[in-house]
Structure formats: structure tokens, C-alpha cells
Amino acid sequence: MEPIASNPRPGHAGPIPPLSPEVAERLARVLPAGEWAVHAPLVEEIGLLKRELGAVILAHNYQTPEIFHGVADFVGDSLALARQAARSDAGLLVFCGVHFMAETAKVLNPSRTVLIPDPEAGCSLAASITAADVRALRRQYPGAPVVTYVNTAAEVKAESDVCGTSGTAVEVVESLGAERVIFLPDEYLGRWVASRTEVELVLWHGHCEVHERFTGEEIAAFRRAHPAITVLAHPECPPGVLAEADYVGSTAGMIDFVGARRPRRVVMITECSMSDNVAVEHPDVEFVRPCNLCPHMKRITLPKILESLRCGVHAVEVAPEVAARARAAVERMLAVAPRPGARP
């Protein structure tokens, strides 16, 4: 692949400054030298352009290491990125994650330009439900408030009372003071929340195509093959997986767990890039790495980020009326503090 940094960019004649030694050192810990040689010029060019444009790059924990460690200004789970997007005063936000995340950033900060390097970066959960489905459920269960996971389109959020993330779902459900709540669209997250609250939940049949592939038998096999392993699982996994886990929580919760507890050997039952990104910070922890890849997250690449900055593509737009109602639901969620994850 021809390094893009060697192509002169219109309006930019000077040399591209080299990567900071700190970034280079982190990336060398996770990327083989051959791969690094391909990424380095792109990382440098993106860094330069970002500074020139006053842009900020937000990246989800599932982004590849060259994005997560190489070009992101802020990394985190859906909740942390939504908070960061809401408070950012940068004129240009480039969102390295899937479309619903970029849309949430736009909804929370409508005066900013929010770009997503690939607008096709979707999510099986977001695709599982429409605004019309939510309206139909409201008719079926009159008076029951609606909590939607942030992994939904803005039109679906707009039909909701409040949103929730994997880090806040239990607290959000309980904050409503209702006996029965409609919880959408992730069935497994809903079942996990239901196991931790007295509130009756009406669930939908959405699943994450990445997490639903893990099985309880697989986790039991990890335990047999790797004695004294600590199992961390995302609540989008099926109940059989969560029953085998030592800790269940959001991607940020899992990262915090490793930082605080320093297990000798750990397996993160979630998307592939998590372990790669977290292992960079914890050379003393052994990571067993089962790999279920999110094809949507992986649509975001360094060349597409560079293109996004160079050409101002692809701007995320949400109709103002939809954005206002979705914002109210997300802001209600942001007002609810997360509680640390725990065994189911």
C-alpha cells in the first residue's frame, strides 16, 4: 500500500511531523513491525490534519489499536463518549465507532459538525427495531415507560422516555419508579437487567451479532484450559455466558476491572480489539483472546479517517424535531450515575 503521507495534500506543503515517541512506543507493543510501517504515515498525517482543523477524534473501545492508540483524542464506552461529545467545544468531531454513536454525539451537540468515516458502520441491535415498533409497544402496554439502549437510531430514541447504556441500564430502569418498564431492544441485556431488579421488564428480541455467538460451554472450556482465569463479560452476551462470568459490565467497566484488580490471567468476552487495546497498558496481565469481530466497527480505518478529515465526509445529520426528543431521552440517561458492574 502506498503511504498516503507521501502524497502532497492540497494546501499543505510542509513536512509531516513524526509521531511522538510515546505513541510510537505504545503501538510497537501491539502491532507487528510490518503492519506498523503501513500505519505510521497515516497516523502522522491524521495527527497533523487534526491539529490544523481543530478537530477532535472520539473512538470506541472496539476500534483497532492503530486508531485507539494512534489517533484518538478520547476513547471509551458508549456512555463516556456520549458525555465527551456533549461537553466538547471542538468545532469538528470525528467519530470512530458505529453510526448510532456518531448520531448520539450529534444529538447532544447539534451546533458541531460530526463526521463518521464510514456511514455504513451499523449495528445489529440498532437495526432490530424501528420507531413504529416502539409506538406499537406503547399501545400494547399503556402507561409503561420506555427505556431504550443507546444502540438505537435517533428516531427510536425520540420515542423513548430515557436511554440506557450497558454501564447504566439497571440504574436507569430503577430511576423511573415504575412497576413495569419496556426495555429495548437487546433481549440479553434486558434479561441481565431483569435479574438485578424487582422491576418487571417487557423485552424485545434484538441481539448483538458479535456477543450472541459466545456460549456458556465455550467459557467453561476456557476455565478448564486456563486455570485461575478471570472471566469478564459484556451484558450483551447470552445468559449462559453471563452465568459463567466473574464480572459483567460495559467495555469501560471491564477496563477498570483489569486496572484495579490486575488479574494474572484474564479473558474478555467481547469484541476482539478490546484485549489488544487494553493489553498495551497491562504487560503484566496475560490476556486469553477469543475473537468475535464486529464487522461494523471494523469499517472504520485509518485511510477512511484521513479521507473524512480531508474532504469533510460523512456529516451526520438528524432532523431537528427528532434530535430534540432524542436529546431529552439521552440527557435523562446522563443524569443517572452508573454503578460498578457485578456478578449476575
Question: Which of ligand SF4, ligand 13P, none does 296 bind, CB closer than 5 to 8 A by kind?
Answer: ligand SF4
Report if residue 124 touches ligand SF4, rule: CB under 6 A: yes
Sign of CA dihedral 58, 269, 284, 338: positive
Report if residue 102 touches ligand SF4, rule: CB under 6 A: no
CB of 77 closer than 8 Å to CB of 98: no
Report if residue 208 touches ligand 13P, rule: CB under 6 A: yes
Chosen residue from 66, 77, 159, 212 binding ligand 13P by CB under 6 A:
77
Sign of CA dihedral 273, 278, 280, 284: negative
| Local structure of 80: helix, strand or coil | helix
Question: Which of ligand SF4, ligand 13P, none does 166 bind, CB closer than 5 to 8 A by kind?
Answer: ligand 13P
Q: Residue 9 has which C-alpha cell? A: 495534500
Report if residue 210 touches ligand SF4, rule: CB under 6 A: yes
If the CB atoms of residues 161 and 186 are measured against ligand SF4, the closer one turns out to be: 186
Give strand ranges (E) for 129-264: 146-149, 162-164, 180-184, 200-203, 230-233, 247-248
Question: Which of ligand 13P, ligand SF4, none does 250 bind, CB closer than 5 to 8 A by kind?
Answer: ligand 13P
Q: Residue 37 has which C-alpha cell? A: 510501517
Q: Residue 306 has which C-alpha cell? A: 484521513
Closest separation in Å from C-beta 270 to ligand SF4: 8
Q: Check residue 212 and report its DSSP letter.
A: G
If the CB atoms of residues 66 and 77 are measured against ligand 13P, the closer one turns out to be: 77
If the CB atoms of residues 43 and 330 are measured against ligand 13P, the closer one turns out to be: 330
Binding residues among 213-272 for ligand SF4 as defined by CB under 6 A: 236, 271
Q: Check residue 163 and report its DSSP letter.
A: E
Q: 195 exposed, middle or buried (CB, 10 Å; 0-12, 13-18, 19+)?
A: middle
Q: How far is CA 320 from CA 1, 81, 113, 155, in A?
A: 42, 21, 14, 11
Binding residues among 280-339 for ligand 13P as defined by CB under 6 A: none
Closest separation in Å from C-beta 14 to ligand SF4: 38
Pairwise CA distance, residues 230 & 14, whole Å: 50
Report if residue 44 touches ligand SF4, rule: CB under 6 A: no
Report if residue 236 touches ligand 13P, rule: CB under 6 A: yes
Pairwise CA distance, residues 274 & 30, whole Å: 12
Question: Which of ligand 13P, ligand SF4, none does 209 bind, CB closer than 5 to 8 A by kind?
Answer: ligand SF4
Closest separation in Å from C-beta 151 to ligand 13P: 6
Question: Which of ligand SF4, ligand 13P, none does 77 bind, CB closer than 5 to 8 A by kind?
Answer: ligand 13P
Chosen residue from 56, 241, 294, 329 binding ligand SF4 by CB under 6 A:
294
Pairwise CA distance, residues 146 & 49, whole Å: 42
Report if residue 165 touches ligand 13P, rule: CB under 6 A: yes
Stretch that binds ligand SF4, among 44-52, 204-212, 238-246, 258-266 (CB under 6 A): 204-212
Q: How far is CA 127 from CA 44, 152, 255, 296, 319, in A?
A: 35, 7, 27, 12, 19
Applying CB under 6 A, the residues found at the interface with ligand 13P are: 61, 77-79, 151, 165-166, 208, 234, 236, 250-251
